[in-house]
Structure 1
Amino acid sequence: MSVQVTNAHVQKLDRQHVFHSWSVQGSLDPLVIAGGKGCRLWDYAGKEYLDFSSQLVNTNIGHQHPRVIAAIQAQAETLATVAPAHANLARGEAAKRVLSHAPAGFEKVFFTNAGADANENAIRMARAVTGRDKILSAYRSYHGSTGAAIAATGDPRRVPNEFSRGHAHFFNPFLYRSDFWAENETQECERALAHLKRVIECEGPGSIAAILLESIPGTAGVLVPPRAYLEGVRRLADQHGILLIFDEVMAGFGRTGRWFAFEHFGACPDLIVFAKGVNSGYVPAGGIIISETISRHFDERMFFGGLTYSGHPLAMAAIVATLDAMAEEGVVENADRIGNGVLASGLSRLTDKHAVIGETRGLGVFHALELVSDPETRAPLPAAEVATIKRALIDKGVLPFVVENRIHVVPPCIVSEAEVAEGLAALDAVLGEASARLG
Structure 2
Amino acid sequence: MHTRPTPPADHGSLAPHTPRVALLGDARSGKLGSNLGAFGRALRRAGVPVDAARIALAQQALQCVGVARRQDVAAALEAVLVGREQDRAVFREMFEAFFRDPELAHQLLARMMPRAVREAGPPRARPRVQAALAPAAAAHGAQQPDLEFDAAMTASDVVRLKTADFNQMSASEYTLVQRLVRDIALPLPTVAGRRTRAGPRGTRIHWGRTLREAARSGGDVMALQRLQRRRQPLPLLALVDVSGSMERYARTLLAFLHAATRHVQVGGRILPVRRNVFAFGTELTDLGPAFRLADTDAMLLAAGRLIHDYAGGTRLGDCLASLWRGHARCLVGRRTVVLIVTDGLDTGEPDDLARELARLKRRTRRILWLNPLLRFDGYAPSARGAAVLHGAADAMLAVHNVSRLQDLAGAIAALVKP
TM-score range, shorter chain: 0.3 to 0.5
Report which of the two has the higher share of helix. Answer: 2
Look at both structures and tell me which one has the larger radius of gyration over its CA atoms.
2
TM-score normalised by length of structure 2: 0.32
Q: Higher relative CO (CA 8 A, sep ≥ 6), structure 1 or 2? A: 1
TM-score normalised by length of structure 1: 0.31
